[in-house]
Amino acid sequence: MDEMDAPGPGGPASERTRVRRGANRARYGRDEVLAILDAGLIAHVGVNTPDGPLVLPMVYGRDEERLFLHGAAANHLLGTGEGEEICVTVTHLDGLVMARTPFHNSMNYRSVVVRGKATRIEDEERKSYALKLVTDHIVANWDTSRPPSQIDLRRTLVLELPLTEASAKVRAGDPIDEPDDIAGPWWAGVVPVSTRFEPPVASADYTGDLEPPASISALAGRSPDDRAPSAGG
């Protein structure tokens, strides 16, 4: 992977969130961080557990100040992360960067890392607020689905993480080859990578005659980047 080390625009919120390798790719601006989070579907959530570090994929939501994670009340990762420092990473792969030498192969990507102390949300109203954001972050269907019951809420563990210590790192564009290799007999370029939603397919046990809600049908043919922004955005 090629990396360059000139400083990026803006500055990190803390020394530990400063991008050191490839600092020219760092983005600390709030809008850029939020745009990458909004375009993402999956976060990788890292926690120090008693039997070692554990990183698991999860969905997430956000408002202007916080990231929200949810799971079953018995969730091991979230239960262990409550009140502790955790790390959440969201990554988009945008392209394979093929250089004239494998030493300069790279990937085009957008990623965000958020570090901080996770706190459990106890209050039911705030829990509903956070769960709506997590739900609608993927596709806005909280309001077109069965409303949550008291039991649903009790069975669900929700953590919040301040968005204060967040950094983004972005690579775009062509490979960066050695000047002496440019005229050489090797191909160089980028293979773009994208994800697209397909038209929705009703469940095998669905016996109704409703069309999918508009927010769901509207996904067909779109990429995660093009779907409606989260309610928090």
Ligand X SMILES: Cc1cc2nc3c(=O)[nH]c(=O)nc-3n(C[C@H](O)[C@H](O)[C@H](O)COP(=O)(O)OP(=O)(O)OC[C@H]3O[C@@H](n4cnc5c(N)ncnc54)[C@H](O)[C@@H]3O)c2cc1C
Which residues of the chain form contacts with ligand X (CB under 6 A)?
Answer: 42, 54, 56-59, 70-72, 75-77
The structure tokens 């997590």 sit at: 134
Closest CB to ligand X among 28 and 68? 68
Distance, in Å, from the CA atom of 186 to the CA atom of 31, rounded to the nearest integer, reads 39
Closest CB to ligand X among 70 and 132? 70
CB-neighbour burial class of residue 106 (10 A; exposed 0-12, middle 13-18, buried 19+): buried
Closest CB to ligand X among 8 and 46? 46
Least distance (Å) between residue 57 CB and ligand X: 4
Give residue number: closest CB to ligand X.
Answer: 71
Distance, in Å, from the CA atom of 225 to the CA atom of 94, rounded to the nearest integer, reads 11
Compute the C-alpha angle 57/59/64, nearest 5°: 130
Distance, in Å, from the CA atom of 38 to the CA atom of 32, rounded to the nearest integer, reads 10
Least distance (Å) between residue 175 CB and ligand X: 31
Closest CB to ligand X among 18 and 76? 76
Least distance (Å) between residue 77 CB and ligand X: 3
Least distance (Å) between residue 81 CB and ligand X: 9
